Chains A and B, each alone.
Chain A
Amino acid sequence: NAGVTQTPKFRILKIGQSMTLQCTQDMNHNYMYWYRQDPGMGLKLIYYSVGAGITDKGEVPNGYNVSRSTTEDFPLRLELAAPSQTSVYFCASLGSNQPQHFGDGTRLSIL
């Protein structure tokens, strides 16, 4: 099993550009999450999904959008990149009686 796969691993964007961070899981988990990690701040929840077609905002959703058309995929969209969105982004999934599984992250710099 690949678990949770995130692409790309690294990306540099210019201010105002847009991009999509991809996340896919092969464990048939219903619950999926996007977090961002900033130095000394821990991880903050951006968006989450409890199943295909259902998404909801987390603690820091501004500037981001998500979709969940399939159980496997949960992409995160940045529409107008801003320097404050420079961060490391983690996708995670959750199955029954299991802890959350995390991907290896996408390191995003906006210049």
Chain B
Amino acid sequence: AQSVAQPEDQVNVAEGNPLTVKCTYSVSGNPYLFWYVQYPNRGLQFLLKYITGDNLVKGSYGFEAEFNKSQTSFHLKKPSALVSDSALYFCAVRDSNSGYALNFGKGTSLLVTP
């Protein structure tokens, strides 16, 4: 089965500092990986995806993610955090056996303090 794991329940970072939210994956074949963000009482918003190609993927709102095949990781990064980045972040992998549904990690809460 295709799965992802997010080892951190919460990440705290000061505004202006770089941030990293971790994700590791377990898949058979080539992974299709995604990051989504959820603000309070809202649905999930797409940030970026990796399908193939460059290992560094750039996405929305200044976020990027680095695909590392040897470490089976897909960490989300941002060079300089904003208070407004505080939200719940989900890593996900596409499951071709369930109509391309997404299998999600449990989520990581990011808190950026002024």
Contact = CB atoms under 8 A, between A and B. Distances in A.
Contacts of B98: 45, 48, 56, 58
Contacts, number: 56
A82 interface: no
Interface stretch (B62-70, B77-85, B102-110): B102-110
B104 A43 contact: yes
Q: Per DSSP, are chain A's interface residues mostly helix, strand or loop, or mixed?
A: strand
A44 B95 CA distance: 12
A58 B101 contact: yes
Interface centre among A49, A94, A102, A103 (most CB of B within 10 A): A102
A5 to B, nearest CB: 11
Interface string A75-111: 0000000000000001010100001111111010000
Interface centre among B45, B49, B98 (most CB of A within 10 A): B98
Contacts of B107: 40, 42
Nearest to A101: B46
B53 interface: no
B46 A40 contact: no
Contact of B90 (A4, A43, A48, A58): A43
A79 B102 CA distance: 26
Interface centre among B34, B99, B102 (most CB of A within 10 A): B99
A45 to B, nearest CB: 5
B9 interface: yes
Nearest to A6: B43
A42 B99 contact: no
Contact of B99 (A49, A90, A102, A105): A49
A27 B43 CA distance: 17
A31 B43 contact: no
Interface centre among B9, B102, B107 (most CB of A within 10 A): B102
Interface of B: 9, 34, 36, 41-46, 49, 90, 98-107
11 contacts: A31-B100, A40-B107, A42-B104, A58-B101, A90-B44, A92-B44, A101-B46, A102-B36, A102-B45, A103-B43, A104-B41
